[in-house]
Chain A
Amino acid sequence: MSAPRNAALMERVPLLPTTVVGSYPVPEWMERLKTDYYRNRMSHAQLTDLHEMAIKAALRDQELAGIDIVSDGELRRDNDVDYFLARMPGVEIPQTAKEFYFDYYEARVPAPLPDRFDPSPLGLADDFAFTSEQTSGPVKFSFTGPFSLSRRIHDSVYTDRRELVLAIARVLNAEAHALADRGAQLLQIDEPFLAGYPDAVGTAIEAVNIVTDGVDVTWGLHVCYGNRYARPLWQGHYDFLFPAVLDATVDQLVLEFARKGYEDLPVIEKFGWDRTIGLGVVDVKSSQVETPDLIASRIRSALELVPAERLVVNPDCGLRNVTGAVARAKLEAMVAGTAAVRAELTPRIAPAPVNASDASNESPHEEHAETPESVARGA
């Protein structure tokens, strides 16, 4: 647990900070170009240039919408899995051509994954560095977690699948160290497949703790019910996460509520989650844009259970499946709705201006010994 380091990040943002979960819309023209790459109609350098231009545009969109903590939109990634597995030491991709860029690779491990690898084995640190150079605000950097990645690997090597999950976690831990070394402050582990395997939550959390081990940043854990092609992959309730997730060394639990409803929120509180909640207030599986009033009402409902100091406001999941116009409108509504609630809270807690301090220069462990509640912005 690392409440102080969470507080260090949160000092840079206002009360009820707004953020995204990770992915940003991939326009149809970009889908065609990404697919062209797999048909040898575009060079790797051209694809990289395309990605970087798209990331800059996504950052600009988020900033214009007023998002407090932005992301690169995961626009270099074809989907939530391939980018990591294709770069993971020891993982083989027998067929690297694709009919459609969004398709999953078929990945396999012919031998146990190596336990020694280069610094930044997946190259994510460079990705983060590029993004952070394009914006002055706080950046969330997300990557798919070891449990979900393991579900897309054909494995005939590990007799115990848990060992594969933990081996992947060790690679991700090395990458996380590299990310922190390059200045990352907020890292998020996404586990989109976990809800389909509730019996495996113990292994998943064990792996999460390997990923975060020794990496002194604010950690988020995002668990949703799937968002591939804007569809849920699973149905259920978040109670499956408990009590195992209480042992996760993460600061934020980023969850899907807007589509499913908020019935799970009391459950989470009941189980004693006393850290930050990333509150999903925007349904990313629908193109209907929520009104700021609706967003505000969802936040107000959550505030009846969770203090404002422990809430981050975000969409349910990544925005990749809606159009750019819808994404922008949803983010603007989210920011407006949040601002309305924030204004109601102002007499109680005065928000600090965005980026009021350069928290990256602080030593959070030394300077913030308080609980997250007591280090609320400006309090």
Chain B
Amino acid sequence: MLVDFRPHSRLRGTTPIDITTALVPVVEALSEDSTDLSKVRLVCDWVQYKENFRDVVALRPILARPERLPGNDPVVVPAGVRDDDLEVAVDVRRSAELPLKEHTAELLRERAAGGTGGRVLLEDWGAGSRSCIWSFNARYWADLALWEKSTGRGYEQALPGGESDARNHDAARDLIRKLFAVWDPLADTGALPEELYVVELGVGNGSQAKVFLDEFRALDTEHGRGYYRRLHYLMCDYSQHVLDLARETVAEHLAHVSSFTLDATKPRTSLGFLRYKVFLVYISNVYDNLPTDEVAQLGGRTYQVQTRAYLPPEEAAALADQANTTTDDLAALVHKLLRLGPALLAEAAPTHVADTDAAVAFWRAAWSAVRLDERYVPLAGLDLYELTPASNGEPAVSGEMLRPLLESGADVRMHVNNGALASFVDSLQLLHPFGTLICHDLFVTDVAAYRANFRGPGKYDGSVVNWVNGPLLAHVGRRHGFDVHYAPFAHRSGGNIITMTAQVRD
């Protein structure tokens, strides 16, 4: 049996984890079970998100055989690799909350019996990015106003620290001065286009845009080059509600502002006319909220982490009561909610939710209850795994891009951030040869960091959050001709926010 205790730093300090209560009961339960211990991995995480998709203990099957290759060729399994078939995952932050040994033993018995333990399954197994948790996420942004009304607080208040780094004036001034430094020599040689485009993906309430535009106007007045007159600021967001609010925020700059409702993973679908014309693509706290798969290198093999959303038995029963339905019909009602939204659900299913407020309450309760089962499925080949689909005339990003991150063979499980990757690659196509992409987000900047800390998914309000695989984006950026750098957000200390900067190489 292999034990991977990831939050090892918490074994020391003033309040160290007591391993005898956090881990030993699980080992005892395993040792008393008939499970082949030579094929078991026991992994411990510290899941820092108060709201998340994990139970305290989870059993994750590790499948043995990948599908066959095209042409029916067999997949080559490297000689000498481990042959695990089960991963037991423990959230040691919460492991004292329940009788750990008995709980683990019960899960092992359920697994042996082949049942689902009374869970209400919301979907079949699939790649993480295809889970219905992303439908919840999309619904949150589509009906943000209803959610905020129900919770009584705005989205930004749910962020750590209570506000977005996007409204930082020092950061905006710094950014604008760098733009001027690029534009001045271009203007001197007649190579500066008449229109100066700046694109913001994910505008929030418009605070960043307002700060940027206010500072831009002021600095341009000092600078005296008339850049503000030529500026076109494009606010882009998935949510029309958000865009409407943002437009109000930047009302005094509206002559220079356009707004676009778009899917951040495919910005060029709406902004294709700006290919190679944008001097700044600005993105703040968007990538961590886009669909992602996970891959894992375990014991010398490469796996895709497949997930399956479910509602635990007790929560499912309560939710069924709340919506005047049965647990058998609950999944269908949840999917109807995700498809229609709470307002229309109230009209379509009045016997289950009396009005919009009741539908929102049902939505919030379902979201709070939803969990993810996981299993590991061997990848037949990196090149057979598409990280992003072909889009807007650009070829798909192949799983081969993962190779440098996995080729050491060391165990690691990490995010692929398919949505962020698609957005990033598509956004690069917008950039002027002298353009820059700036992104503030939760970036993992070293693959080794995945071995020590849990990086998601977690729940932020009604949305999903995952850390973003910085080394993967840097590698893909490099293969697209860009240098990608990471640095802690320079204008606020103590936070987790990292600034990614991408600029053309050479």
Contacts and interface: CB of A to CB of B under 8 A. Distances in A.
Interface of A: 28, 100, 104, 198-199, 226, 228-236, 286-288, 323, 326
Q: What is the interface residue range for chain B against chain A?
A: 20 to 34
A199 B193 CA distance: 18
A230 B393 CA distance: 12
B160 interface: no
B189 interface: yes
10 contacts: A198-B189, A230-B480, A232-B276, A233-B433, A235-B193, A286-B393, A286-B394, A288-B393, A323-B395, A326-B395
Contacts of B393: 286-288
A286 B395 CA distance: 9
Contact of A229 (B276, B383, B479): B479
Contacts of B383: 28
A231 B400 contact: no
B506 interface: yes
B447 interface: no
A231 B275 CA distance: 10
Interface string B355-385: 0000000000000000000000000000100
B127 to A, nearest CB: 22
B504 A100 contact: no
Given A100-B478, A287-B390, A288-B393, A232 B433 contact: yes
A286 B482 CA distance: 18
B118 interface: no
Contacts of B506: 104, 228
Question: Main SS of chain A's interface residues?
Answer: loop
A166 B482 CA distance: 31
B322 interface: no
A117 B431 CA distance: 43
B326 interface: no
B407 to A, nearest CB: 11
Interface string B158-171: 00000000000000
A286 B504 CA distance: 18
B76 interface: no
Interface in B52-88: none
Given A228-B506, A231-B504, A235-B276, A287 B395 contact: yes
A226 B276 CA distance: 12
A236 B191 contact: yes
Given A231-B433, A234-B433, 5 more contacts: A229-B481, A231-B276, A231-B504, A234-B191, A323-B395
**Which of B193, B481, B505 has the most CB atoms of chain A within a 10 A radius of its CB?**
B481
A286 B276 CA distance: 12
Contacts of B400: 28
B191 A235 contact: yes
B234 to A, nearest CB: 19
A98 B433 CA distance: 24
A28 B506 CA distance: 21
Contacts of B261: none
A232 B275 CA distance: 10
A288 B393 CA distance: 5
Contact of B432 (A100, A235, A323): A235
B426 to A, nearest CB: 13
B135 interface: no
A287 B425 CA distance: 14
B453 interface: no
A204 to B, nearest CB: 16
A228 B481 contact: yes
A196 B482 CA distance: 18
A234 B276 CA distance: 10
